[in-house]
Amino acid sequence: MYDANHLIRQLRDSSLGREDDVFARLPDGSTVTFGALFAGAERMAAALVSQGVQPGDRVAVQVQKTIQAIELYLGTVMAGGIFLPLNTAYTGPEVAYFVGDAEPRVVVCDRARLEEISAVAGAAQVLTLDANGLGSLRTLADGQDGFEAVAREPGDLAAILYTSGTTGRSKGAMLSHDNLSSNSAMLQEYWRFTAEDVLIHALPIFHTHGLFVATNVALFAGAQVVFLPGFNADAILEAMPSATAMMGVPTFYTRLLADERVTKERAANMRLFISGSAPLLVDTHEQWETRTGHRILERYGMTETNMSTSNPYDGERRPGTVGFPLPGVEARVMQDGAEVPAGEIGVLEVRGANVFQGYWQMPEKTAEELKPDGWFITGDMAKIDADGYVTIVGREKDLVITGGFNVYPKEVESLIDDLPGVLESAVIGVPHPDFGEAVVAVVVPEGEGTSADAIHSALSGQLARFKQPKQVILLEALPRNTMGKVQKKALREEYAGLFG
């Protein structure tokens, strides 16, 4: 009954004949089988259709992480709809923008926010689903019985994910059935996931990493997941001895390293730790390997491209790099319309079946960033070394141009991060009356004794004068989004008036 729906068929194939096997272990000790998961998804699909959802309609979802939310994702795709997950931190006015832009047929929100979201939902039908998996949608779904998946081709849209909107309006990246299925199938093979794996799943599911990497890869492999509502060190450490893999953001690893229970003995059953969504410090790599005996596998992706590069499963996992272009993905570094030599910095472009279909209702923006021959301009500054390893240097918009000279923040940050007494740093450019922009370092100290003067002194012999920070600012923590990415835009705004 799933054969006609491209993505659902492939997500289901690995568990055919294994319907009674456990897919998810939940925090309360209960389990969900593959059969129960897909039966629940069928009921969700039928419930959505009962509310008027037709093939191609958008279903906007802002709910807490539950197994019912996964059923809703699968059910939306089963019904031929387009799944549109929204960050749970978005306010009513922010949700109003997404609803106004995507014009969903149905909006699903937490019961506690029904009044707030209903006020901005326009013509959309508003249903609820709370942190316990209960609400009007669940009630509606429980009254349904089975569903025949709607036919969908590889090129049909399966999801729209909005970019974080750090510059200008958020853009809705359109992802097809094939964008998602091809990437998941390739990652499953590249990272060696099988039905024997148990994946610790503590990531949010409104984002590519938790939904389309962790969840889809587990389903493609027929693997089991330890399904956690969010990061919880106790729960992760409890699960680790019987798990085999974990996908996380750098913050997961830094927080876990602060716990003395992270040992080689506890990680003995694990075969793979993966990190993404934000850069992982070399120091974190080294500490994790010392403590657990495992070398973290760092990879790189974007909302628009799913996963594009990864350090190898077998072979050298180089700290500070995001590995090689994945099988079927091409990558190149461009500057002024030409590909640069190995080791030189430019803008990273990628091409492959993983690359999205364009931005929802933004043809001009699509034309700017997605070339007719399929190359997507990522906006990330990068270099590819002679061995083929890709290193992300920073966002193109984060480039600092001071006195006519280019400064790549990552170069300065790497030196600062290696200094004793420094936990991490963020280098930004702020307006300067003489230089156009000035280099400013925002530093999070580790322990006592770190000073701005000491950092200035340490850098003076290591960097050209124009690269050295005009000012060093010490903070207790860097501003981050929910996926752990440092919000440099917020820092630039905060310190825009530093030099008058």
pLDDT tens sequence across 28-71: 999 999 999 999 999 999 999 999 999 999 999 999 999 999 99
Task: Report pLDDT for 277.
Answer: 84
- Indicate the DSSP class of residue 152: B
Cα–Cα distance between 128 and 140 in angstroms, integer? 10
pLDDT of residue 151 exceeding 90, the answer is yes
Cα–Cα distance between 233 and 230 in angstroms, integer? 10
Residue 123 structure tokens: 């013509």
Please, how many CA atoms are within 13 Å of residue 234, restricted to the half-sphere of its CB? 1
CB atoms within 10 A of CB 119: 12
Task: Report pLDDT for 493.
Answer: 92
Closest-CA residue to 204 (of 90, 97, 124): 90
Task: Report pLDDT for 451.
Answer: 92
pTM of the full structure: 0.86
- Reported confidence tier of residue 313, pLDDT bands at 50, 70, 90: very high
- Indicate the DSSP class of residue 248: E
Q: Using one digit for the tens of pLDDT, what is the confidence trace for 281-296?
A: 888 899 999 999 999 9
Better-scored residue on pLDDT, 250 or 33: 33
Tell me the C-alpha to C-alpha distance, in Å, between residue 353 and each of 327, 331, 347: 10, 13, 20
Task: Report pLDDT for 272.
Answer: 98
Cα–Cα distance between 414 and 171 in angstroms, integer? 31
Q: Using one digit for the tens of pLDDT, what is the confidence trace for 120-139?
A: 999 999 999 999 999 999 99
Q: Under a CB-based contact definition with an 8 Å cutoff, are residues 434 and 450 in contact?
A: no
Cα–Cα distance between 56 and 420 in angstroms, integer? 55
Helix (H) or strand (E) holding 234: helix 233-239
Q: Using one digit for the tens of pLDDT, what is the confidence trace for 421-461?
A: 999 999 999 988 777 789 999 999 998 878 999 999 999 87
Cα–Cα distance between 105 and 80 in angstroms, integer? 12
Task: Report pLDDT for 90.
Answer: 85
Average pLDDT, the chain: 94
Q: What is the DSSP secondary-structure string of 402-446?
A: ETTEEE-HHHHHHHHHTSTTEEEEEEEEEEETTTEEEEEEEEEE-
Average pLDDT over residues 16-22: 97
pLDDT of residue 280 exceeding 60, the answer is yes
- Indicate the DSSP class of residue 493: H
